[in-house]
Amino acid sequence: MTKTSITLNVNGQTHETKAEPRELLIHVLREQLEITGPHIGCETSHCGACTVDIDGRSVKSCTLFAIQAQGSEITTIEGLGGPDKLHVLQEKFKEHHGLQCGFCTPGMITRAHRLLEENPDPTEQEVRFGLSGNLCRCTGYQNIVKAVMAAASELNQTEVA
Amino acid sequence: MIPGRFDYHQPESLAAAVTLLSELGDDARVIAGGHSLIPMMKLRLAMPEHLIDLKAIGDLKHITVADGVVSIGAMTTQAELIGSAALADAAPIVKETALQIADPQIRYQGTIGGNVANGDPGNDMPALMQCLDASFTLSGPNGQREVRAREFYEAAYFTTRDDLEILTRVTFAAHGGGYAYEKQKRKIGDYATAAAAVLLSKGADGACSSASIAMTNLADTPIYCEEASSAMIGAGIDATSIETAVKSCLECIEPVDDNRGPAEFKKHAAGMVLKRAIDSAWSRA
């Protein structure tokens, strides 16, 4: 089966690659583009570790063929912030102990980013509902919720100022 | 988990998609949001040789409300249903149901067309569509036809849709009165252990003037309970009439033992969600 040329826009960069139609987005991101922030967790669209942002929607990249993302704008955790300049959400996860092993964190933060874009001032209940597609086996979620609430509060203050 | 090999097609019009499906026949599957089909392909329980992606067909993504009739394109996502102010006004039960489907990421991708066309008894929209007495539009090589949701489902994964037809939209009348979709599930993202969709209207005399009850995942198809629905009309809604309606509904279902529990437990759960849904719908009527 022949490979098809695929153009993916990831974190503001255009990548030309070749993939079979059956190759999932998560595999192309990690193995071909070496963008390894999104993780492979359950591979069954339950855990959310592979969450990326595609054209303003949070998507589980284990349940989308790379070819379906052709021409879309994709953002991964790498596009939100990095060691040199952490995103507010990354800062707050660090500050509030929103992670232990860190496996779920890229998906969790990528999802939280979209949630706050859509709902900049969520209630705790809305944060919990909005993150319900992401599983964490370490934290018990309390500190993740605190971190997202703190990030929302800081982002809102920045906007007012 | 790597799916089997296939060729990918992305037709830009419905006519092109129908022609392609006619040419490829049984070797092809239509893909909408893909959140039922792709997991099946990863398990190799589905191994289509061709995938026809409907995403580029603009006509299939719309929500319109005109003259009291709601029309929703098959490729409209659950997130788009939830976000539509016009739909929340015309048929708030759709939003209430969509919010209980899967999780946020899946609702951005999952479509109403895929949910109703797949024939999975666990899907929530089929019972809702039966409750609303919706109609499905199917397009195939012999043209277009309409099928009522109440006549669409034959068995698990078997519907009256021909393999060469594509479900393109759902239509139903805007509903007034009270409404509720109540779902018992083990966790976020799970299919229903039991769920019920209820629409009730209250007449000027305070009695029930219209009623419709349908249930999810309690048989190998969604179940519309006509007897319970018609028996409620013309009387007041109280503890006795709710008990009678619930009893009548429970006679229509055939739950089976599985990892969500034994059949007896599911009947118990069904009774509970039915009572909650009727209470809630009547309080809003």
Q: Which of B3, B35, B109 lies closest to A22 in CB terms?
A: B3
Report domain extents, chain B.
1-43+62-175, 178-284
Take residue A126 and report the two structure tokens written for it: 């809305």
Which residues of chain B have a CB within 8 Å of the CB of A20? 5
Q: In sequence order, what are the residues at sequence separation of 6 or more whose Cβ sits closer than 8 angstroms to the Cβ of residue A76? A: A10, A11, A29, A35, A37, A38, A52, A53, A106, A110
Residue A51 is predicted with a pLDDT of 98
Q: Which of B8, B41, B42 lies closest to A43 in CB terms?
A: B42
A30 shares contact with chain B (CB less than 8 Å): no
| Low-confidence spans in chain B with pLDDT less than 50 | none
Q: Which domains does chain A have, with CATH numbers?
A: 4-79 (3.10.20.30), 81-160 (1.10.150.120)
Interchain proximity A67–B8, CB inside 8 Å: yes
Which CATH number does the domain B178-284 belong to among 3.30.390.50, 3.40.50.2020, 3.40.190.10, 3.30.70.20?
3.30.390.50
A–B CB contacts, 8 A cutoff, strictly below: 78
A65 shares contact with chain B (CB less than 8 Å): yes
Residue B190 is predicted with a pLDDT of 94
- Indicate which of B52, B55, B103 best probes the interface with A, i.e. most A CBs within 10 Å of its own CB: B103
- Integer-rounded Cα radius of gyration of chain A: 16
Residue A158 is predicted with a pLDDT of 77
> What are the tens digits of pLDDT across the range A78-116?
999 999 999 999 999 999 999 999 999 999 999 999 999
Residue A2 is predicted with a pLDDT of 84
Q: B140 and B15 in contact (C-beta within 8 Å)?
A: no
A78 shares contact with chain B (CB less than 8 Å): no
Does ipTM exceed 0.90? yes
Q: How many CA within 13 A on the CB side of residue A102?
A: 4
List the helix and strand counts (H, then E) for chain A: 6, 5
pLDDT tens for each residue of chain A, 161 residues long: 689 999 999 999 999 999 999 999 999 999 999 999 999 999 999 999 999 999 999 999 999 999 999 999 999 999 999 999 999 999 999 999 999 999 999 999 999 999 999 999 999 999 999 999 999 999 999 999 999 999 999 999 977 66
Task: For B1-43+62-175, give the CATH class.
Answer: alpha beta
Residue B1 is predicted with a pLDDT of 84
Interchain proximity A133–B105, CB inside 8 Å: yes
Interchain proximity A59–B109, CB inside 8 Å: yes
pTM summary value: 0.96
B234 shares contact with chain A (CB less than 8 Å): no
Residue A1 is predicted with a pLDDT of 61
> What are the tens digits of pLDDT across the range A70-82?
999 999 999 999 9
